[in-house]
A = this chain, B = another copy of it.
């Protein structure tokens, strides 16, 4: 039995050296339940409002940034507009984003990962991170390229 590690909780917040406050718990819970998986700070703000929790936008930014430092969430800078956040479940992956509806899907490709390492080595770089995002139109009929 060993607790499954795909459910975040107050312990995760505590382990990050942060106090377990209502805003932090709510934000973490929201990221867990979130359909999209990828939400902007403002999305979080509005979703929490809808849920009856009036948490200041500044707090949301602050908390998300702290969660990021703690490795609980990852921040992505897709083109145009706000940063989006997602819960970090430990597995690295890249993204493919629909430029029409905003849908975000994840993928992981070992071949691409390997090639990146090789390329970096050729150029004398030590890889610390990388971001690969494919932009296009998703399968949704309404999103098909004109």
Contact = CB atoms under 8 A, between A and B. Distances in A.
Given A112-B112, A115-B112, A130 B125 contact: no
B130 A133 contact: yes
Contact of A127 (B109, B130, B134, B144): B134
Interface stretch (A3-11, A37-45, A53-61, A116-124): A116-124
Contacts of A99: 128
Interface residues of A, number: 33
A134 B116 contact: yes
Interface of A: 77, 79, 96, 98-99, 105, 107, 109, 111-112, 115-116, 119-120, 123-139, 144-145
